[in-house]
Structure 1
Amino acid sequence: MSQSVQTAPAPPEPGESPRVTPALRRRVLARPEVGSLVAAVIIFVFFLSAAPSFRSAESLFTVLYQSSTIGIVAVGVGLLMIGGEFDLSAGVITTSAGLANSMLCWYYGINLWVGAAVSLALCLLIGFLNGYLVMRTGIPSFLITLGTFFVLQGANLGVTKLVTGSVSSTDISRMDGFDSLQAVFASSFRVGSVTVWITVLWWALFVALAAWVLQRTRTGNWIYAVGGAPDSARAVGVPVIKTKIALFMTVSFLGWFVGMHTLYRFNTLQAGNGVGNEFLYIIAAVVGGTLLTGGFGNAVGVAVGAFIFGMTSLGIVYAGWDPNWFKAFLGVMLLLAVLVNLYVRRLSTTTRKAG
């Protein structure tokens, strides 16, 4: 009986470009960030043609700044979603962080660095409590952090009015430590004709650090494991509780960071700020390829999702359109991203089985 013999494809000749096999194509398309990258290119080209003022280098760096203010916290939210959880208090905690720093130092007359440290400790405690309650009670993180959201929102308004007599914090620009803190969190510098805000550099650093943790460390494996199959992860010795609590604390830390930027850029804060931003962080993560069910996504994709947010929010303004359409666009992008992510997830599963 004759047997058919399958031979491997011949290697490309010198100077010939490598063949793109169906398996390679599926492997590339199955990466979480591919869909968001394609969308970013399309949106970028669209606004280049629709808004002439969008074409300048200064406009691009303004978009990057806008993206960074969302993207920094979105990095932590993306990691948490890969770990299978949500944090609906991520938006309002940025305001809580700034208000705690501002009002504590103004009321007691202490150095702003001390207030920043106390504010950081407070935010980390909130993140710890969120994670601890989720893991110890079994209540979904959506409900736990929704409760935290309302507590912080009410505290921001109530405590600010109690201390200052209004719903905004006082101007802290003349207090000790302001200049050095502003240099760390809210400074900018010129490169030719453009202004580069330091948050853009911090954003790039946080994205690079998160990407390295996810792809190169044991902690990254734990994050994927607790999001994709927590029971199996626990069975093989993954510290599920500690990992998820650490992810909640990471979100709170990055929320504190953005709160410091907002405070030291504008010198004062409105107590009602930050409400609704938690959805922007989630949208950036989902558009960037992160699954709502956990266990799939990466930091680069989340960064691209935040960049799409920045391009759209400012591109609509540069084009002279009614900015009310921005929310409608976000809704469309979210729905499309969920459909694309579902397709990518199926493609990734097919690729792994074929391998």
Structure 2
Amino acid sequence: MADTAQTVTDERLKQEGFGARLMKRPELGAIAGVILVTTFFLITADSTMFTLSGIMNFMTPAAQLGILAIGAAMLMIGGEFDLSIGSMVAFAGLIFGACVVTLGLPLILAIPLTLAVAAGLGAVNGVIVLKTGLPSFIVTLAFLFILRGASLVGLKLASGGSTQLRGVRDAVEGDWLAPMFSGDAFGPIFAWLAQIGLIDTFKNGTPKVPGIPVEILWFIALALVATYVLLRTPQGNWIFASGGDRNAASNSGVPVRKVKISLFMVTALCGALVAIITVMDAGSTDARRGFMKEFEAIIAAVIGGCLLTGGYGSAIGAFFGAIIFGMVTIGLTYTDFDQDWFQIFLGGMLLIAVLFNNYIRKRVTGER
């Protein structure tokens, strides 16, 4: 009997080949999308798009969006949405700007304070969703307007009537933490590469690419950490279980409430991180920061394989989904196409991703 059971198992493993296992990977569509978009721009765009300088040009906005998308993806896997993440970028930018400019706090205090406020607001989102039973779509939509309005009012109070708060760059200049959240990393290495001729330089000898923008490093690090948590830890199993079948997860001992509230906090923290990075890079904060980014983050997560119903998805998929956004956003400037084609692309990619993910879900579950 044992031999028979073993034989049946072996036959099932043989039947599910590499192609079948590959089709079940949530990030497959995003990786295929990156390949297709890259091929498209290799054919249509100026050759400078894929130089080191061009790659940094599209990876920088991809990284800023990707940090949001990874947080959104983890929350979607857990079965919830956060439509306030874009407004959180603006509000956290206000908090951070007020800390360093108005209050004169050093970064070692301003950054944790900003992150703490964001995490607290994320927890409020989660508690309201779980206490009331309202859809997270509705609750976070309300917070979208609340935080955006609070950003407008707060900036006017902090700046004396303006919707922009300047002076951030001067306030953080010389702070030992500033290089971790602003500017380019590995500058000396890139200068050396320019000296030996591996990187193009300007006429004065300075490298055209002075380093790797720090947001790209944060983006990669966050993708790796999120992937490890989802695939290699008990907490990752809890996230998938909470999004797949909440009642079954609760009956199995999964702390669903804590998991979901924690995910709302993670999403808010991702918004705050983007706020800190972009405010320091720009040297100012404004009320429109993060505008519409909530939808782009969710679309990038969906392109990356996240199901709208929860319980399925990938942080690496969101990583590649954000890269697609960055490539198209900047890549169109290297072509003769009108920039407004980006909106058409956005809708088309979302529809294709949803259809593809739905097909994969049916393949995995055996539905017809």
The answer to whether TM tops 0.5 is yes
- Does structure 1 residue 173 correspond to structure 2 residue 169? yes
Change (3 A) 1:51 1:272: same
Please say if residues 88 and 145 of structure 1, whose CA atoms lie closer than 8 Å, have aligned partners that are also in contact: yes
How far is the alpha carbon of 1:27 from its aligned partner? 1.5
Structure-1 separation of matches of 2:172 and 2:353: 46
Q: 2:34 aligns with which of 26, 36, 40?
A: 40
Q: 1:228 aligns with which of 198, 221, 244?
A: 244
Q: 1:259 aligns with which of 258, 261, 275?
A: 275
Deviations 1:89-142 (A, max 9, x none): 101111211211112332233334322222111101100000111111101101
Aligned to 1:74: 69
Q: 1:96 aligns with which of 73, 91, 95?
A: 91
- Structure 2 SS opposite 1:175: helix
- Does structure 1 residue 314 correspond to structure 2 residue 330? yes
Structure-2 separation of matches of 1:295 and 1:86: 13
Counterparts of 1:7-86 in structure 2, within 5 Å, are 23-52=17-46, 53-86=48-81
- Structure 2 SS opposite 1:174: helix
Structure 2 unpaired stretches of 5+: 1-6, 194-198, 200-208
Query: Which amino acid is 1:114 matched to?
Result: L
Deviations 1:209-261 (A, max 9, x none): 11111111100000000000001000111000000000000011111111000
Structure-2 separation of matches of 1:182 and 1:259: 14
Counterparts of 1:323-334 in structure 2, within 5 Å, are 323-334=339-350
Aligned to 1:302: 318
- Does structure 1 residue 127 correspond to structure 2 residue 143? no
Q: 2:106 aligns with which of 105, 111, 115?
A: 111
Q: 2:285 aligns with which of 269, 284, 288?
A: 269
Structure 1 unpaired stretches of 5+: 1-6, 11-19
Structure-2 separation of matches of 1:25 and 1:108: 58
How far is the alpha carbon of 1:347 from its aligned partner? 1.8
- Does structure 1 residue 246 correspond to structure 2 residue 262? yes
Q: Name whichever of 178-187 and 256-265 sits farther off.
A: 178-187
Please say if residues 100 and 106 of structure 2, whose CA atoms lie closer than 8 Å, have aligned partners that are also in contact: yes
Q: Name whichever of 136-145 and 268-277 sits farther off.
A: 268-277
- Structure 2 SS opposite 1:169: strand
Structure-2 separation of matches of 1:26 and 1:201: 33
Q: 2:358 aligns with which of 306, 320, 342?
A: 342
Structure-2 separation of matches of 1:24 and 1:112: 49
Q: Name whichever of 315-324 and 291-300 sits farther off.
A: 315-324
Structure-2 separation of matches of 1:178 and 1:264: 13
Query: Which amino acid is 1:251 matched to?
Result: T
Structure-1 separation of matches of 2:100 and 2:304: 39
- Does structure 1 residue 188 correspond to structure 2 residue 187? no
Structure 1 segments, 4+ long, off by >4 Å, are none
Aligned to 2:232: 216
Q: Name whichever of 183-192 and 341-350 sits farther off.
A: 183-192
- Structure 1 SS opposite 2:171: coil
| TM-score in terms of structure 2 length | 0.87
Query: Which amino acid is 2:25 matched to?
Result: R
Aligned length: 335
Please say if residues 234 and 240 of structure 1, whose CA atoms lie closer than 8 Å, have aligned partners that are also in contact: yes
How far is the alpha carbon of 1:175 from its aligned partner? 2.1
CA RMSD of aligned residues (A): 1.9
Query: Which amino acid is 2:303 matched to?
Result: V
Counterparts of 1:284-303 in structure 2, within 5 Å, are 284-303=300-319
Query: Which amino acid is 1:242 matched to?
Result: K
Query: Which amino acid is 1:130 matched to?
Result: N
Please say if residues 75 and 260 of structure 2, whose CA atoms lie closer than 8 Å, have aligned partners that are also in contact: yes
Query: Which amino acid is 2:27 matched to?
Result: E
Structure-2 separation of matches of 1:40 and 1:255: 24
How far is the alpha carbon of 1:178 from its aligned partner? 5.8
How far is the alpha carbon of 1:275 from its aligned partner? 1.8
Please say if residues 102 and 112 of structure 1, whose CA atoms lie closer than 8 Å, have aligned partners that are also in contact: no
Identity, in percent, stands at 38
Query: Which amino acid is 1:220 matched to?
Result: G
Structure-2 separation of matches of 1:27 and 1:73: 28
